[in-house]
Homo-oligomer: A and B are copies of this chain.
Amino acid sequence: MKFRLRALAFVAGAVGVATAASTTNTEPIQPIVRTPPADSRMVELGKKLFFDPRLSKSGFISCNSCHNLSMGGTDNVRSSIGHQWARGPINAPTVLNASFNVAQFWDGRAADLKAQAGGPIANPGEMGFSHEMAVDVLRSIPQYVDEFTRVFKKAPLDIDQVTLAIAEFEKTLVTPNSRFDKWLQGDAKALTAQELAGYQLFKGSGCVACHNGAAVGGNSFQKMGLVAPFKSDSTSLGRYEVTKQETDKHFFKVPTLRNVELTYPYFHDGSAATLRDAVDVMGKVQLGRSFSADENGQIVAFLKTLTGDQPNIVLPVLPPSGDKTPRPQPFE
């Protein structure tokens, strides 16, 4: 506790001598704070499930296939590859810091991470399985049965337990300690002059109206193509698909900009390959302005300061299938 008080005093000291956000943060972006998981055994089980391709019909695709924790929680392709190489209709959003989102999926059709986790398993173009078959597989694996029973105290295991465990694991996937957060917390030297100029421009030109909060986004739905049409080869109508309200057409959940350096390509259609492209397009279609090359460079430099500590993941060892476990069917 003494150490903690001293650390705070040091931070306060830093604020006193330099241009930095104070510990009583009045910035529109808040630092990410990691909170310990409620149930670490459930998290460990959820991690196994997240990495287990037996939740797919092929035995080849796991949650981590498209939300790859080596690659910012994304797959870094325009649209995901699903069962039998199906081409996904939309760019896979990052799972990192997804617990901060107001809802899940680009159109917000899942209220929370638990509701989201069941989607891809049963989507014919993603994992190509069904909840029933996934549960059958897990119930046939002795070590999983034991582990679910230990965690949930209720047998037999079911899809609610599966998706809850995955969601609890995903809640741990937060990325604190970005350089920008250090700056927010009072370390004036955490940003270069160019990065700070980029942040001022990001605030001053209106990006921050949508990209704010701890996740620098994720907390509202906004129209893609607000001041100029956004041309896309995606047929998704966004939030409208959920609400069927005419006014929700082309509204999408504002993506988090945390770790955006790692989560290329950008937008729901993955059409922006680089941050430079993305900033350019956002300026034009959302703000009605063209950023100069210098301004673009400043904003991109700022965005790269949002890369935080990536989750420290020890690869799980998955329990082996039993003799009666239904086998994957990749080619059937």
Contacts and interface: CB of A to CB of B under 8 A. Distances in A.
A7 interface: no
Copy tally for this chain in the complex stands at 2
Contacts of A52: 70
A94 to B, nearest CB: 13
A205 to B, nearest CB: 22
B321 A264 contact: yes
A298 B69 CA distance: 41
A81 interface: yes
A300 to B, nearest CB: 9
Given A60-B81, A77-B59, A328-B76, A70 B317 contact: yes
A73 to B, nearest CB: 11
Contact of A327 (B273, B314, B321): B273
Chain A interface residue number, banded = 35 or more
Contact of A312 (B59, B310, B312, B314): B314
Given A262-B320, A320-B264, A58 B77 contact: yes
A76 B273 CA distance: 34
A92 to B, nearest CB: 11
A330 B59 contact: no
A194 interface: no
A196 B327 CA distance: 30
Contacts of A323: 273-274, 276
Nearest to A327: B273
A71 interface: yes
A313 B327 CA distance: 26
Nearest to A310: B317
A247 to B, nearest CB: 34
A59 to B, nearest CB: 5
A315 interface: yes
Interface string A257-289: 000011011000000011010000000000000
A331 interface: yes
Interface string A151-187: 0000000000000000000000000000000000000
Contacts of A330: 77, 81, 85, 87
A37 interface: no
A209 interface: no
A331 B87 CA distance: 8
A262 B318 CA distance: 9
A72 B60 CA distance: 14
Contact of A58 (B60, B81, B317, B318): B81
Given A60-B65, A70-B315, A70-B318, 5 more contacts: A58-B81, A70-B317, A76-B328, A265-B327, A312-B314
12 contacts: A52-B70, A54-B76, A59-B76, A60-B81, A71-B318, A261-B320, A265-B327, A273-B323, A273-B327, A310-B317, A313-B314, A315-B315
